[in-house]
Amino acid sequence: MEQMDIGRLVSDVMTTAALLVALKRVLRGSGHRTTPLEARTLGELKARATRLCCLRAHLRGRLHLRRLTLDEQAAFVDDERQVYTRKRAA
């Protein structure tokens, strides 16, 4: 089985969560009108957070999104899984 860089994954989840909190705090400010760039950034951060949480859940044998099966979740997080896979020295 492949070795996963769990420390980096957890760090990226925490960083993404912090960015989401900071952006939402700005967007909730009184009188703030959301720009298209902010809306796109918010959507991208939410999608990234979802993929990372799905990967973490999948590594534990659990589901993050209940509408997916484990096989569907595996396909959903495959790109992220490849990013966090540690390569063995040859």
pLDDT for the residue numbered 31: 87
Asked if residue 90 is part of any domain, the answer here is: no
pLDDT for the residue numbered 88: 59
Lookup result for tokens 């990013």: 83
- Name the domain count of the chain: 1
pLDDT for the residue numbered 3: 86
Nearest to 26, CA basis, from 15, 16, 34: 34
Asked if residue 25 is part of any domain, the answer here is: yes
From first to last of the 90 residues of the chain, give the pLDDT tens digit: 578 899 999 999 999 999 999 999 999 988 889 999 999 999 999 999 999 999 999 999 999 999 999 999 999 999 999 999 976 555
Domain of 39 in residue numbering reads as 3-85
pTM: 0.86
Asked if residue 17 is part of any domain, the answer here is: yes
Asked if residue 77 is part of any domain, the answer here is: yes
Asked if residue 79 is part of any domain, the answer here is: yes
